[in-house]
Every structure is written in C-alpha cells, then in structure tokens.
Structure 1
Amino acid sequence: MLDHISLGTHDLARATAFYARVLATLGYQVQHQGAEESAFGPAREWLFILYPADSGQATAGARMHVALRAESREAARAFEREALDCGAECIREVAERPQFGADYFGGVFRDLDGHAIEVLTRSA
C-alpha cells in the first residue's frame, strides 16, 4: 500500500547522518543526497526521504509515527542501539508486547526532530 515515507527536518545534514547510521541496521543505505533531500532504501529505491522543513517546525505530528520493519529481533535491537547512540530519545524500549500481537517485538524512539519512529519485527 505505501510506496515511501517523507519527513521534514530542521537540519538536513544532521538528520541524514542520524538516519544513515540507524537505517543501515535495517539494510537501507543512502541512495541520494542533495541540497534539497536525502533518500534511503535498498539498492536504487527511495523509500525513506528527508526534506528541509518549510517552516520553523519539522511537522512532527502529536500522534503520527512511522513504523519500520526489521528482519529479526537482533536487527531491531541494533536499530535501538544506533538510535540511542545517535541521540534519539527512547519512548518505548524494544521488547515483546503481546498486546500488539503474539509475535510483536519492537520499540519506539523520538528522532532528532521529534518524529516518533517505531522499529519492529514479527519474526521469532
């Protein structure tokens, strides 16, 4: 259903450096980096795109979040470690949460612009 996600940022260079490290844990690499956007994904795909915010706010929604699928529990844990090492705020640490499904394992973090980013896997 979804093709890609775009987020606004106050500091494109800082956000690009943050997501280059964090998204690498999920197999995403920088596919494009320019003055007006940075794009991440697997080879030649732009699935996660950052743009400079048009106003003083990076448009982080109060109840909006982006959920990213990890291939394994270890990949979800690696995402958590990188996110925290890069300055993200932990909202909900990576763990089993049966209320979200018997196979759910994930957590939620606030990135450097305040966006809520969830990482999860549904593999054992």
Structure 2
Amino acid sequence: MFDHVVFGVSDYAASKTFFLKSLEPLGMVIVQEGEKGIELSADGKVSLCLYQTEEKPARLHLAFVAENRQQVDAFHRAALEVGASDNGGPGLRPHYHANYYAAFVIGPDGHNVEVVCHKPEG
C-alpha cells in the first residue's frame, strides 16, 4: 500500500477539476493546496498530489478502491461530465476475478484512471 502518489500535470486547473469532481464519489477532498500543488485524500492517510509541470510525464494507470459499485458508477459519470474520455464503462471484469467491478477513463494528461470495487453486489 502506498502513502501518497505525486505527479506533474500539464494543465493544473483542468487536472484539479477532473480529479476533484471524478473522485468526489469516493470522498476525496482537498487536504491542502499551495504553491507546490494540491493534495487530495479521502481518509487523511493516503493522498494524491498534483503539481504543474512543463515536463511530459509518462502515462500512469491510477486505480482507486470503491466501497461499492454505486461509487464506481458515480465516478464514471462525474469524470465524463468534466471532459474525461471513456476507456471502459462500469461493469464486471471477470477475467480479473468474479467480483471485479470497475470503470476506466482517460484524464486530461492521458492517464488511465480506474475506480474498482472488489465486493459482490449488495
């Protein structure tokens, strides 16, 4: 398990809007924001940090845990509303395991962002 993930983005405002809105269903909120960027967290322990950069970072695959399938669905809707591209709508991915329910989008910098629930429905 990680403590935090930090990466640069090419459009800070667009990325801030994207991650705040699309991860809101998971409870992600701004923990702090300053000249070094923004830190988001849902539990105050694990955080996602973004900062403006001119460097072209390699594309990432970021996967966030959802407590239920409704959070996965809400993430997908919210991400598309703020301009993300669909990269796999909400649904079961039984080739991973029987209860792997996930959705994927491509964010502002081309990162593949996933939200997954490993629990059975109900």
Structure 1 and Structure 2 fold alike (TM over 0.5): yes
Task: Tell me by how many angstroms 1:92 deviates.
Answer: 1.2
Residue aligned with 1:119, SS: strand
Identity among equivalent positions (%) equals 29
Residue aligned with 1:87, SS: coil
RMSD: 1.5
Question: Please, which runs of 5 or more residues in structure 2 have no aligned partner?
Answer: none
TM-score, L = length of structure 1: 0.88
Does structure 2 retain, via aligned residues, the 8 Å contact 1:31–1:46?
no
Does structure 1 retain, via aligned residues, the 8 Å contact 2:10–2:52?
yes
Residues 1:104 and 2:62 aligned together: no
Matched residue, 2:32: 32
Counterpart AA for 1:60: A
Task: Tell me by how many angstroms 1:7 deviates.
Answer: 2.3
Residue aligned with 1:40, SS: strand
TM-score, L = length of structure 2: 0.89
**Among 52, 58, 61, which residue is 1:60 paired with?**
58
Task: Tell me by how many angstroms 1:46 deviates.
Answer: 5.4
Q: Count matched residues.
A: 120
Moved over 2 A (4+): 42-46
**Among 101, 114, 118, which residue is 1:122 paired with?**
118
Question: Please, which runs of 5 or more residues in structure 1 have no aligned partner?
Answer: none
Matched residue, 1:13: 13
User: For residues 46 and 103 of structure 1, do their structure 2 counterparts lie closer, same or farther at Cα, with a shift above 3 Å needed?
Assistant: closer
